[in-house]
């Protein structure tokens, strides 16, 4: 297992945002957490990035306990995130944003670094066209590509994607999901959080359903996508 | 109003104003960078500057600057510049460690940090003003009498540097003023480029814009904050050195007015904006000197703050507005 989450509890002040959740992310998989707004999906990812503090439980990455590790140590170990709402650095150019993704790396002048930039630009040709443009002047879809590309620049073993389809047109959503598949095929494990359950289940090997801070169902993506109660609750009835 | 004097001396008044403005700008840098990253007005930054002026003064005294000239004097002055930058940087880093970091760690509201800043400012100023007592407790009063004496009055290096006046196009200007303006602008350019181009600089900008996402990228917030205090401290040290060259006199409470002026310069230019600090400083310095020439020197501070209010009425975010994080590369 690349990531093992065991009995995780996270609080916001006195409010329990996540209660005792446990799940695994197998190496090489696409694993998804789906659920409604406020179910605790984003909190889970922020906790995995080390932004939120853990109240109880443990997180292991590649067998190593990282429950209380600092965010920058996690990036160094190989966990990077594309956050909810993209959150590109709007005052910086596309290239500078990609450099920020690689902040923990010290090989900026190397060939490997340039190859990683080229790889991201090959995945997202739109970014290549806009490499010196300010990120704030780009469309939502382009910013989403930049946020994913930025996360890839850390050379992650596990990439955390928080709602990459949010606010995008259907055509763009399909494009983003096919790129997620490509990233996974290139060897990066993906933990995907989505409200767009239909797309997420289609893309995922394993899936977990979060409801008010707890995991209520787990299974194979295809299995849950075909399940009647899941269909009714998350997929808007029959599809 | 004394228009005749004003117009007859306009070029040299302007140069003098630019020199004051350049010093304000260097100090303003510290306010603006810390504000950009922490949304905190580091009120104690004025004392960071004040300690620098004393480091400069004491180094010149200790190395015998009063009897030196030529190359030797230049070497002593360079040593005093290094000392001023070092002491100011140390004071800035200690401030961050003692007065702010514990509060930030506990997520204290910014207002609390502001009170802590004001408190730290008084403590630092009074420590300097009571340095004879402190030395007394340590039994060093006699050994250090040259340095701790006259703790509450002006301390001066007047006469150490005999700066020539230059005739530029028929206008007589002080060579010190020219040196002050050129070195301040050069330092501002260095910092600006550092923040724009270097990896650490990008980390500072990213943190200023979105601390959470920056930390997701692996930026260490504590180190970034330290870095901004360090840069602010180093620049306050340069400002202190240039100030001592120009004014030659310092005192334990010299930071207060200079700090308020530099803060005004930062707000005038757009707080959080490095280039704004330079522009704000220069505009403020020139306006002050022009105002004093027209209305009399007692009006100097009135002019400065009326200018601030008027500019903020029309441009509430300052002359250049945008923040450190959003500043375009």
**Tens-place pLDDT, residues B98-152:** 999 999 889 898 889 999 999 999 999 999 999 999 999 999 988 898 898 889 9
CB A164 within 8 A of CB A146: no
Show residues of chain A in contact with B199, CB under 8 Å: 99, 103, 108
Would you say the ipTM is above 0.90?
yes
Q: Say yes or no to pLDDT of A239 above 50.
A: no
Sequence-separated (6 or more) residues with CB below 8 Å from residue B20: B246, B285, B288, B289
Tell which A residues from 105 to 134 touch B, by Cβ distance under 8 Å. Answer: 108, 134
Answer yes or no: do B205 and A89 touch at CB < 8 A.
yes
CATH class for domain A1-78+156-163+195-239? Answer: alpha beta
Q: Say yes or no to pLDDT of A229 above 90.
A: no
Answer yes or no: do A100 and B206 touch at CB < 8 A.
yes
pLDDT at B325: 59
Element (DSSP H or E) covering residue A5: strand A3-12
Distance from CA of A175 to the nearest CA of B (A): 25
The torsion of the CA quartet B194, B195, B196, B200, rounded to 10 degrees, works out to 90
Which of A15-24, A224-233, B59-68 comes out lowest in average pLDDT? Answer: A224-233
Show residues of chain B in contact with A76, CB under 8 Å: 218
Burial B181-207 (b: 16+ CB within 10 A, else e): bebbbebbeebbeebbeeebbbbbbbb
Backbone angles phi, psi at B25, to 5 degrees: -65, -40
Looking only at Cα atoms, what is the longest distance across chain B? 61
CB A9 within 8 A of CB A57: yes
Q: Does domain B3-151+172-314 have CATH number 1.10.150?
A: no
Q: Locate A6 and state its tokens.
A: 């065991």
Interchain contact B327–A (C-beta under 8 A): yes
Give percent of chain A with pLDDT exceeding 90. 87
Give the integer Cα–Cα distance in Å for B268 and B280: 5
Give percent of chain A with pLDDT exceeding 70. 98
Answer yes or no: do B218 and A76 touch at CB < 8 A.
yes
pLDDT at A154: 96
Where exactly are the structural domains of chain A?
1-78+156-163+195-239
CB A3 within 8 A of CB A28: no
Quote the mean pLDDT of chain A.
94
Give the integer Cα–Cα distance in Å for B267 and B265: 6
pLDDT at B329: 37
Interchain contact A99–B (C-beta under 8 A): yes
**Tens-place pLDDT, residues B279-299:** 999 999 999 999 999 999 999
Q: Which of B241, B237, B197, B199 is CA-nearest to residue B93?
A: B237
Q: What does DSSP assign to residue A238?
A: -
Q: How many CA atoms lie within 13 A of B110 on its CB side?
A: 9
Stretch A143-147: mean pLDDT: 97
Interchain contact A81–B (C-beta under 8 A): yes
Distance from CA of A198 to the nearest CA of B (A): 28
Distance from CA of B165 to the nearest CA of A (A): 44
**Tens-place pLDDT, residues A38-73:** 899 999 999 999 999 999 999 999 999 999 999 999
pLDDT at B2: 82
Query: How many C-beta atoms surround the C-beta of residue A137 within 10 A?
Result: 11
Instruction: With cut-offs at 50, 70 and 90, classify the pLDDT of residue A37.
Output: confident
pLDDT at B328: 43
Interchain contact A149–B (C-beta under 8 A): no
Q: Which of B188, B229, B218, B226 is CA-nearest to residue B22?
A: B188
Answer yes or no: do B202 and A96 touch at CB < 8 A.
yes
């Amino acid at each position: 297992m690349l990531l093992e989450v065991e009995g995780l509890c996270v609080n916001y002040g006195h409010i329990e945002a996540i209660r005792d959740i446990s799940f695994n992310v197998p190496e090489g998989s696409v694993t998804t957490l789906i659920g409604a707004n406020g179910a605790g999906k984003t909190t889970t990812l922020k906790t995995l990035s080390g932004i939120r503090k853990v109240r109880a439980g443990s997180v292991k990455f590649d067998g190593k306990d990282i429950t209380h590790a600092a965010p920058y140590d996690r990036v160094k170990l190989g966990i990077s995130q594309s956050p909810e709402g993209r959150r590109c650095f709007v005052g910086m150019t596309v290239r500078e944003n990609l450099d920020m993704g690689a902040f923990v790396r010290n090989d900026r002048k190397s060939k490997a670094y340039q190859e990683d930039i080229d790889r991201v630009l090959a995945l997202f040709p739109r970014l290549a066209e806009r490499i010196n443009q300010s990120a704030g002047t780009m469309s939502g879809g382009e910013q989403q590509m930049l946020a994913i590309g930025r996360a890839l620049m850390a050379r992650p073993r596990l990439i955390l994607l928080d709602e990459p389809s949010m606010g995008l047109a259907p055509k763009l959503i399909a494009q983003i999901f096919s790129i997620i598949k490509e990233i996974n095929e290139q060897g990066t494990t993906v933990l995907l959080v989505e409200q767009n359950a239909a797309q997420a289940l289609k893309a995922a090997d394993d899936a977990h359903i979060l409801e008010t801070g707890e995991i209520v169902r787990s299974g194979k993506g295809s299995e849950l996508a075909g399940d009647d109660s899941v269909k009714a609750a998350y997929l808007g009835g029959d599809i | 109003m004394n228009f005749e004097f004003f117009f007859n001396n306009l070029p040299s008044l302007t140069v003098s104003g630019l020199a004051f403005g350049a010093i304000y700008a260097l100090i303003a840098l510290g306010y603006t960078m810390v504000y950009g990253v922490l949304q905190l007005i580091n009120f104690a930054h004025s004392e960071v500057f004040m300690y620098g002026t004393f480091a400069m003064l004491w180094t010149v005294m200790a190395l015998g600057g009063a009897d030196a000239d030529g190359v030797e004097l230049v070497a002593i002055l360079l040593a005093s510049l290094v000392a001023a930058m070092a002491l100011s940087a140390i004071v800035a880093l200690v401030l961050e460690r003692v007065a702010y970091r514990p509060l930030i760690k506990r997520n204290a509201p910014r207002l609390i940090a502001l009170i802590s800043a004001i408190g730290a400012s008084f403590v630092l100023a009074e420590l300097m003003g009571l340095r004879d007592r402190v030395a007394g407790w340590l039994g060093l009063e006699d050994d250090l009498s040259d340095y701790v004496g006259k703790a509450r009055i002006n301390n001066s290096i007047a006469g150490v540097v005999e700066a020539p006046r230059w005739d530029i196009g028929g206008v007589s200007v002080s060579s010190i003023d020219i040196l002050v303006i050129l070195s301040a602008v050069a330092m501002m350019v260095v910092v600006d480029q550092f923040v724009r181009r270097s990896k650490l600089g990008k980390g500072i900008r990213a943190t200023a814009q979105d601390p959470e996402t920056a930390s997701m990228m692996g930026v260490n917030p504590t180190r970034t904050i330290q870095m901004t205090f360090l840069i602010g401290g180093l620049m306050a040290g340069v400002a202190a050195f240039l100030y001592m060259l120009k004014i030659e006199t310092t005192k334990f409470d010299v930071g207060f007015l200079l700090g308020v002026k530099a803060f005004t310069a930062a707000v005038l230019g757009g707080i959080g904006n490095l280039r704004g600090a330079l522009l704000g400083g220069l505009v403020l310095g020139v306006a002050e000197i022009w105002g004093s020439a027209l209305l009399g020197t007692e009006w100097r501070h009135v002019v400065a703050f009326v200018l601030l209010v008027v500019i903020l009425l029309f441009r509430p975010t300052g002359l250049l507005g945008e923040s450190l994080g959003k500043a375009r590369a």
